[in-house]
Structure formats: structure tokens, C-alpha cells
Structure 1
Amino acid sequence: MKWQIQEAKARFSEMVERTLREGPQTVTRHGKPVAVLVRADQYQRLRAGGRTFKALLASAPLDGVEIRRSREKARIIRL
């Protein structure tokens, strides 16, 4: 089920109960998905196999790939 943010805040307990019964619940802002509520055990399973982005890059097969870095100075952006 999709919940608008205001509705999710007002009916959070019901949203949790539906997550337990029906599965993940999506929260939307202006009609676009911004968050998903999942069971804690599901979240732990998803996180257990996860690696950091750095570890993922370090394990990438890069044989034959040439990586070059530009020696130009970075441009300065003034805010």
C-alpha cells in the first residue's frame, strides 16, 4: 500500500501493523515514493549481505581497464 507522508504520520501504528501482515509499505511525497517501511527481520537480511561502496569497488574485476585521472585543478564554485 502507498501512504502519503501526512497519512503515514497520523496512522503510523496502522502502517506498522500492515507491514507485519501484508509486507512493505511505501511512503510518498507529492505522489513520488520517498521511503519504505519493512519488517525488522527483512531489513536485517537485506543489510547482512551488503558491503560498503568502497568494498564493492575494491572487489570489482578491473583487468584490462585503464583508469586515468585528470591533472587539471578542480574548478572553484563560489556560493
Structure 2
Amino acid sequence: MGNQWTLQDATNEFPAVVEAAQGGAPQHVTRQGVEAVVVLSAEEYRRLMALDAGREPKRDFVRHLLGAPKLPEGMDDIFDDRDEYSSAVRDVGPRD
């Protein structure tokens, strides 16, 4: 049956699903035409979990910002407000 099964077929042929998965071919099971699960061998599952465990945990946005590089020594004042923009105000009264 390949590696695509309906839920009913996978239930009826479960030993074949398990054997194929143990042979290294993930088995896709659909429910009402939509992929529901993938049956993997225990070995493949452990391999994937080990890969996932080696990843850096997701960082939230605040931690991402706090992890930004720091300014070099002596450059901490480059964001002072002393260079504020000056703008002239003009009258925008009614047009004639």
C-alpha cells in the first residue's frame, strides 16, 4: 500500500504499517482525507528527539533584544538628545 494509509486501512493492516515504519519508511495515516499522523520507527523517533534536544531553546523577543551587541567603549553617548531636529512652524490657515 506504499506509505500512505487511510485510518481504516492502517487499523486493519497495523502489523504492515509497523513493519514498514521499522524498515525506515515513515507511514502517513490520513483521517477523512487529511494527514493525521506519521508512524515512525522507535529508532527514528529517538534520532529526531536527540536532534531537537541539541537545538537552542526559542528565545523570546525581549531576550533577543537584550542579547544585541553592546556599543564599543566610549560610544555610549551617540544617542544623546543634543542633536534634536529643529523645525520651523508654518501657518497652515485657510486658503483664499
Taking structure 1 as the reference length, what is the TM-score of the superposition?
0.63
SS at match of 2:64: coil
In structure 1, how many angstroms separate the alpha carbons of the residues matched to 2:42 and 2:23?
13
- Alignment partner, residue 79 of structure 2: none
- Alignment partner, residue 32 of structure 2: 30
Identical columns (%): 30
Structure 1 or 2, whichever has the larger Rg, is 2
Taking structure 2 as the reference length, what is the TM-score of the superposition?
0.53
Is the counterpart of residue 10 in structure 1 residue 3 in structure 2?
Answer: no
- Alignment partner, residue 40 of structure 1: 42
Change (3 A) 1:39 1:13: same
Relative contact order (alpha carbons < 8 A, sep ≥ 6): 1 or 2 greater? 1
SS at match of 1:62: helix
Unaligned runs of 5+ in 1: 65-79
In structure 2, how many angstroms separate the alpha carbons of the residues matched to 1:57 and 1:7?
42
Supply the RMSD in Å over aligned alpha carbons: 2.3
Deviations 1:23-70 (A, max 9, x none): 10000011111100011111001111325xxx3235x96127xxxxxx
